[in-house]
Structure 1
């Protein structure tokens, strides 16, 4: 069976899960082979602003790069964030082929606060029925995934999340710090995205050749 045929078997689950949990829950089916047009089915996409044809997320690239799917079937109840800043509680089920290779992901993203419900849910849905079911998570929890609508945004979000840890501007960073950032981005699979090297070089205020040099250092 072709991998796309396997993924198509999961499409009915997108509606099934969304109907059970409600309009405050976004359900997404990802094809991780076609990373540029990864979203092949989605319900309640108004939550993240995504639609069919949107790319794989930063977490998706990280899972591909680090091969964590080899000993995990799912990642559950982690914090994610939309491009407009809403916090969600997310879970990802990893879809594998007969050889155990990762081919897709079934993702469930639930709004994390009553305020987000009020701002996001269409007016035809009764909010009072949902407010008691909101899943809450400590705001200090690390955001593990950004729900982006373009590959440019995936790269930008990944760079930003790492650079903010250093609490200094790129102009003041040492070459060792910049190299460490590049290595972390590599481990997150960001350099699988076309144009990522140019974006990272511009953000770190350095040349593309320097980024290539940092990447080569890891393999020497």
Structure 2
């Protein structure tokens, strides 16, 4: 049985530190024991645990792990939520409860869309990208909803079609060409993008940095 008094200051601390857009829940395997910054009027102390907690408890993959971090859920109002759950077990490894942190990230998602627009522009009217069969510039429209990951995936799809090979089978020159296109769309202004591109191209992070340096020195 969980010691609620022991966990109370932890729950309060996390809620205060993370802010009012973060919900912190302590529950046993049946009911909510403590909750701060509730996102749903149906979630309160003494209420049954929600569907997500039930799913985590019943999931065989969660039986031998200490926590599940950065999974996605939705609030009752449809806002995107980033979640993490700590599995609390007794000395014998029996699950006693869950400590869950739900952070509403809807505002950050909207901010990311604005940043993508500022980086890549809403519409491309680059006169250097003219169609060979037209005197007017080609217009390419980048959806404002695209994340950096989606832009990376789109460029890789285009490269697969253009070079006739999957990303991890491209030659060095083909990868450099692909990196150049990603760089032109602002991909590498985002934190963590080099690691993501390296994984999807089957290259090391050092190789991606080398390609970027080569492109920079040729400008």
TM band (smaller chain):
0.3 to 0.5
TM-score if structure 2 supplies the norm length?
0.46
Point out the structure with max Rg over C-alpha.
2
TM-score if structure 1 supplies the norm length?
0.45
* Higher RCO, 1 vs 2 (CA within 8 Å, ≥6 residues apart): 1
